[in-house]
Structure 1
């Protein structure tokens, strides 16, 4: 069910699902009732009780949505609706989810003074999002909520050896994020989005604690480049009940 899972702070958890957890996206032609059941099964397995993961309608932009008290309230039901239209979300302890099938899923956690609830964030960083700065936008939003000592976990995504693009596309993205420039294993122009994300996080002063493997190479993960009709796996962040103070 998980490609990686760990308690990353006392009472704070990060996980990335795999294909065994099933498709978690509502926008790929799957039965919404089946998607809702899989999402709820995941929440039960992780001990969320009555809490739900908040999903978002991802559009390859750089908007950051605030979820729950202390941010920008969002009332969308994560089981029956896509949630806010954004490519990053932040919360003060509310469970969050990001869906991908080759793009880079990023989970971030930041501490707050006085033992208050941690600042959590998830980011969907595809090629347009990397180029337009969705990662630094999310980091800035977290710091605006009082986050310090930020750490990031980068989930599985297509690697630079596999992500072939036209030369002009590579040049356009690399002009904004130089670390994205690469050559694939076939000797063709490529983009290394995980390396680009790591460079953006480093420049923002965020420690990278984990970086996942390649979705195209690992058949236990969904990959849009392998199969355009594929599902989506999720990056997740949540807290134990009662972690932190309101």
Structure 2
């Protein structure tokens, strides 16, 4: 695959695959519709699956995709499905894309977890949604995101989030209050009993091959973490 990076594959009753889109594909809400459509077509061609986006709002709602990916874009921050041939996409440009799988049943999920989503518990929420369907997600992928040494926040905001997720408290490399979103997500995944954690070790702010809102502001595009299954 040329436009999907850090490809991983997990074989169970269904083959589950995971990848992250190349920076050359612009998938943000503000991208020109034709540009975004072309990027999605490339994802579909390389994955062999129908890509499904969500209108991300930094919340904790999780939506079931059971229409083959043909329905309107849902407003939420997590998607889950048991249908093969659907690629669930979580977009980011400093936030954490989190992908989940139950290889035994074929259920998969994708979540967008920024600072508000970490505090609201979007990752525990989608895990609970999977379990309500009889799935037991045992594998999680944590995608590229801004690291705890780069994500500066006001001290009051640091206190607000770290009161809920203590593991997220951090300090920037220049000595100011910060949050480590990845550490917070890891803590929530481990707290939910998921121990097979696979992380892409990249800070989006420091690595120019990934989009970063902190680095590039409004000019930043969006990449996506993608997960799909097939026989």
So what's the TM-score if we normalise by structure 2? 0.92
Residues 74/4 of structure 1: CA separation in 2 closer, same or farther (3 Å cut) = closer
Classify the secondary structure of the residue corresponding to 1:19: coil
Contact 1:111–1:147 (Cα < 8 Å) also in 2: no
Q: 1:149 offset after TM fit, Å?
A: 4.9
Q: Distance in 2 between matches of 1:169 and 1:62?
A: 19
Equivalent residue for 2:11?
Answer: 9
Contact 1:98–1:235 (Cα < 8 Å) also in 2: yes
Matches within 5 A, 1:90-109: 90-93=80-83, 94-109=86-101
Q: 1:209 offset after TM fit, Å?
A: 2.7
Q: 1:74 offset after TM fit, Å?
A: 7.1
**Large movers: runs of 4+ above 6 Å:** none
Which runs of 5 or more structure 2 residues have no equivalent in the other structure?
none
* Between 60-69 and 160-169, the greater mean CA deviation after superposition: 60-69
Q: 1:47 offset after TM fit, Å?
A: 2.5
Equivalent residue for 1:33?
Answer: 34
Q: 1:159 offset after TM fit, Å?
A: 0.3
Matches within 5 A, 1:1-246: 1-10=3-12, 11-20=15-24, 22-25=25-28, 27-28=29-30, 30-48=31-49, 52-68=50-66, 75-77=70-72, 83-93=73-83, 94-112=86-104, 116=105, 118-212=106-200, 213-228=202-217, 229-240=219-230, 243=231
Q: Distance in 1 between matches of 2:4 and 2:38?
A: 17
Q: Distance in 1 between matches of 2:59 and 2:196?
A: 22
Equivalent residue for 1:80?
Answer: none
The two structures, once aligned, show a CA RMSD in angstroms of: 1.6
Q: 1:134 offset after TM fit, Å?
A: 0.6
Q: Deviations over 1:30-60 (max 9, x none)?
A: 2201210111012112233xxx111100000
Q: Distance in 2 between matches of 1:9 and 1:203?
A: 25
Q: 1:210 offset after TM fit, Å?
A: 1.4
Q: Distance in 1 between matches of 2:224 and 2:137?
A: 24
Q: Distance in 2 between matches of 1:101 and 1:161?
A: 16
Classify the secondary structure of the residue corresponding to 2:221: coil
Residues 149/122 of structure 1: CA separation in 2 closer, same or farther (3 Å cut) = closer
Q: Deviations over 1:3-34 (max 9, x none)?
A: 311112341100111313x2112x22x22012
Q: 1:75 offset after TM fit, Å?
A: 4.5
Q: 1:226 offset after TM fit, Å?
A: 0.6
Which runs of 5 or more structure 1 residues have no equivalent in the other structure?
78-82
So what's the TM-score if we normalise by structure 1? 0.86
